[in-house]
């Protein structure tokens, strides 16, 4: 892997690693983020076993030069237990929260929170990306709205061999077991079969992710890729995630096949490797189209936030006015009692002089405004004293 100067960059096992960014003073226009799957690695998952080419850093950047793309890879603890339902933990949700938090922080310190995002996910890494976008989309709190930026900024997702089970729940557990057989060392499967059993049977969380993601799917450009070659599983050739699951027929979603098996469909020996043109063309097209669309997303998002804050302020102000009105009424009643003329007073309205009438006129708008401001100030001061 190398940066724009040709120097090799070590990839962090966990967290984000920027493996390419346009040469200064050019600023990136889009972030391309790679997420590996079960038992994967942010380097090895994307590296050819024959040529040792790490294509996200060594082949992709020159092709995306005009699009000014920054390329990042994300690593996390992707053992079997990460994809099972613990006694009370949704570990995929934990991975999703960490992914969103890290990516938000990485972009904010670079003043790039509104930069478009394109995801490339392999196998069960696609479930982590889905869960991350679901989490980001659900955020509405003022104090955490920065975490919503990834949902707003995401333009497209390329899923490589991700199982989208749909209604085919009967085969869902089998597919997860097959993925384990391919992606996990044999010694792990033999020594810890209970983990594989857990992944096969306790997959309610995985099913829920699919159901929730369907609700926001139309927000993004989606490209499904399925494996074109079977994998040898103990002497039996089998598609780990077949076309029906990896590339379901969904309206306005792209679908394509990569002529490689499940574990090699994300590794490209060179630019002539099967599926390379399909995947990279998708990334390039998304990177070209994303800036204009994401700008419109943010225009709409900022308008919605502004409207919400105005409504909230109006509600708060309305509540304060109610309090002020009650206090004003009480004070005015007290003042009225104090200023009531005595029975022996010689002053009457009848025949009152013009000067007297002038003194009795209603306060002006400006006077009323000052009167309201005085009580607002008193109200706020009172609340601070009580706090």
**Helix boundaries (H) for the chain:** 55-58, 60-63, 91-108, 125-138, 149-153, 169-183, 186-191, 193-201, 204-214, 243-246, 276-338, 354-359, 365-386
Mean local confidence (pLDDT), 133-143: 92
Mean pLDDT for the stretch of residues 52-79: 94
Position 370 scores a pLDDT of 54
Beta-bridge partners for 74 = 16, 35
Q: Which pLDDT band holds residue 38 (cuts at 50, 70, 90)?
A: confident
Residue 180 predicted with pLDDT over 80: no
The DSSP call for residue 294 is: H
Q: Provide the token pair at 368.
A: 């009323």
Confidence of residue 368 (pLDDT cuts 50, 70, 90): low
Please report the pLDDT score of residue 218 as a whole number: 94
> Of 255, 250, 281, 280, which Cα lies nearest the Cα of 55?
280
DSSP code for 49: T
Q: What is the residue-averaged pLDDT of the chain?
A: 79
d(CA 66, CA 82): 38
- Whose CA is closest to 248, among 295, 280, 214? 214
Rounded to whole angstroms, how far apart are CA atoms 217 and 222? 8
Please say if the pLDDT value at position 358 is more than 70: no
Read off the pLDDT band of 319 (50, 70, 90): low
**Confidence category of residue 270, pLDDT binned at 50, 70, 90:** very high
Give the SS3 label for residue 290.
helix
Element (H, E) at 257: strand 254-258
Please tell me the predicted confidence (pLDDT) of residue 202. 43
Distances (CA, A) of 246 to 94, 167, 282: 24, 13, 17
Confidence of residue 130 (pLDDT cuts 50, 70, 90): very high
pLDDT-derived band at 274 (thresholds 50, 70, 90) equals very high
């Amino acid at each position: 892997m190398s940066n724009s100067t040709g120097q090799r960059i070590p990839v962090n096992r966990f967290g984000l690693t920027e493996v390419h960014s346009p040469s200064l003073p050019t600023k990136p226009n889009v972030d391309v983020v790679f997420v590996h799957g079960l038992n994967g690695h942010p380097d090895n998952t994307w590296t050819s076993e024959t040529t040792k080419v790490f294509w996200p850093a060594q082949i992709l950047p020159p092709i995306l030069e005009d699009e000014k793309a920054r390329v990042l890879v994300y690593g996390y603890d992707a053992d079997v237990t990460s994809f099972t339902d613990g006694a009370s933990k949704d570990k995929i949700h934990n991975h999703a929260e960490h992914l969103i938090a890290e990516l938000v922080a990485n972009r904010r310190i670079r003043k790039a929170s509104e930069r478009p995002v394109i995801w490339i996910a392999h196998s069960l890494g696609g479930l982590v990306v889905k869960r991350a976008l679901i989490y980001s989309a659900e955020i509405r709190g003022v104090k955490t709205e920065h975490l919503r930026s990834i949902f707003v900024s995401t333009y497209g997702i390329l899923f490589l061999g991700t199982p989208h089970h749909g209604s085919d729940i009967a085969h869902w557990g089998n597919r997860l077991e097959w993925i384990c057989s391919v992606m996990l060392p044999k010694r792990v499967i033999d020594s810890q079969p209970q983990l594989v059993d857990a992944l096969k049977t306790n997959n309610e969380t995985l099913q829920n992710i699919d159901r929730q993601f369907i609700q926001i799917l139309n927000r993004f450009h989606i490209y499904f890729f399925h494996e074109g070659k079977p994998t040898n599983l103990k002497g039996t050739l089998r598609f780990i995630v077949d076309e029906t699951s990896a590339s379901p027929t969904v309206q306005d979603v792209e679908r394509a096949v990569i002529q490689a098996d499940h574990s090699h469909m994300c590794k490209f020996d060179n630019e002539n490797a099967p599926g390379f043109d399909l995947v990279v063309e998708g990334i390039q097209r998304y990177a070209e189209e994303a800036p204009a669309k994401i700008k419109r997303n943010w225009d709409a998002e900022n308008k919605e936030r502004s409207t919400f804050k105005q409504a909230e302020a109006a509600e708060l102000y309305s509540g304060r006015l109610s309090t002020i009105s009650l206090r004003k009424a009480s004070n005015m009643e007290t003042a009225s009692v104090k200023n009531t003329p005595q029975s022996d007073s010689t002053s009457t309205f009848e025949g009152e002089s013009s000067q007297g009438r002038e003194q009795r006129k209603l306060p002006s708008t400006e006077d009323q405004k000052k009167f309201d401001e005085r009580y607002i100030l008193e109200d706020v001061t009172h609340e601070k004293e009580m706090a």
